[in-house]
Amino acid sequence: MSIDIKQICCIGAGYVGGPTMAVIADNCHHIQVNVVDINKTRITNWNNDDFSKLPVYEPGLAEIVKRRRGINLHFSCDVNHNISIADMIFISVNTPTKLKGIGAGQASDLKWIEESARQISKYSKGETIVVEKSTLPVKTAETIKLILNGSKDKSDGKKFHVISNPEFLAEGSAIDDLSHPDRVLIGGENDQAIKALENIYLNWINKEKILTTNLWSSELSKLTANAFLAQRISSINSISALCEVTGANINEVAIAIGMDHRIGSKFLKVGPGFGGSCFKKDILNLVYLCRYYNLNEVADYWQKVIDINFWQQKRITHKLVKKLFGTISGKKIGILGFAFKANTNDTRESPAIQICKDLIIEGAELRIYDPKVNNLQIEKELDFKESFTNHLSTTANLYEACLDADAILIMTEWEEFKRLDFTKISTMMRKPSWVLDTRNIIDRKKAKDAGLNVWNVGVDY
């Protein structure tokens, strides 16, 4: 017999919590799903009647929220009440890399996980299943269990089951990933709790795709999956530099190796480096764990994946400076795309951040355009200061970013950047009119025929 779930509470209304709970609500009309967050602005935006202004942009998400919000999908700042009525609570809060103290720069900061566990311990009632949804270091469940079970009155009737259910979402395709996942991983120690979560997923997912493990395997599987994916990106980016000096074409190399069934074609698209909330943070966490257990050679191996990613970003900046006669001081650079990838408004760890910062340090005047990232978010990521006034501006028009530019830098693979009017751009730019395509998405021949100089990463001939 499994535990009957009628009320779900998700702590954290961000890029994981919002879409995940929306898909659950859309497929489980018999369950009331309450998404809570202490960020009042974020909750206000989730409740906005203009569905184009939801705080998270994902194709298909707005349509689901429009269907289910106010029926069995709710967004609120009343964390304590929604914990008290929940049968199952998902913890989906941020776990950033620590900035100071022991493990700074590598270990995950679990203060929001601990805070959530303490709130659950205090306000929950009866038997409650607590689900780890955030990406967490191995053995975090042990900490959560200690907090839940160690601070409660034994006579209050409270009972907790902690299970791990990591997300495997690619931003930009999160709704499809949630609706048609490769697998759903559930790790735990209590069969009834595992079955309760499994029954939720069975409303739209085949049982064959649901994998159950112990808690620690589940936690480590998420870190390892992200590490392997990031490793592929760093590997193909490192080869792009070799292609440029040998005359090889990175696109042809990627196709050739991707056709090997042992390797496969996914995550072999060259670019300015990986971004997003998970890859860098999770690999650094893996490095920290390895060093903690004195596995220094393993830690060094994974650290190199991070190092190559940073090197690729620096390489692109150096390439631009070289193309513009060794200096970009006072020169206008159009930045097309600021999100870390297409089809999301997420800018966390976007390669554009470091590259833009480096260009500003070199004295460039940046004009940035992204179809989904607003100017306040861009300024926040670049730590905007008054001294930046002459070096940084944003625009709501793609072609305004190209006006009088010495070069334009394509940073995100948005569809509209694949259909640029190169003839128009050529008349707007200042010679020598360089287009640096870090994503290899434009038609190189059309751009050159329009009088533009073109550099594609990994294709330099």
Q: Active-site positions?
A: 278
Alpha helices in 247-350 (DSSP H): 250-258, 279-292, 296-323
Q: Taking each helix axis from N to C terminus, what angle separates 351-361 and 296-323, rounded to the nearest 10 degrees?
A: 50
Q: What does residue 136 show for φ and ψ, rounded to 5 degrees?
A: -130, 155
Q: Taking each helix axis from N to C terminus, what angle separates 279-292 and 215-246, rounded to the nearest 10 degrees?
A: 110
Of the candidates 394, 400, 437, 434, the one whose C-alpha atom is nearest the C-alpha of residue 417 is 437
Beta strand pairing status for 210-213 and 159-164? unpaired
Of the candidates 16, 12, 74, 69, the one whose C-alpha atom is nearest the C-alpha of residue 42 is 12
Of the candidates 274, 299, 305, the one whose C-alpha atom is nearest the C-alpha of residue 287 is 299
Q: How far apart are CA 30 and CA 25, in angstroms?
A: 8
Q: How far apart are CA 317 and CA 328, in angstroms?
A: 10
Q: How far apart are CA 298 and CA 320, in angstroms?
A: 35
Q: How far apart are CA 426 and CA 454, in angstroms?
A: 12
- Residue 413 and residue 441 in contact, taking contact as beta carbons nearer than 8 Å: yes
Q: For residue 404, what are its two tokens? A: 């009088």
Q: For residue 39, what are its two tokens? A: 């960020």
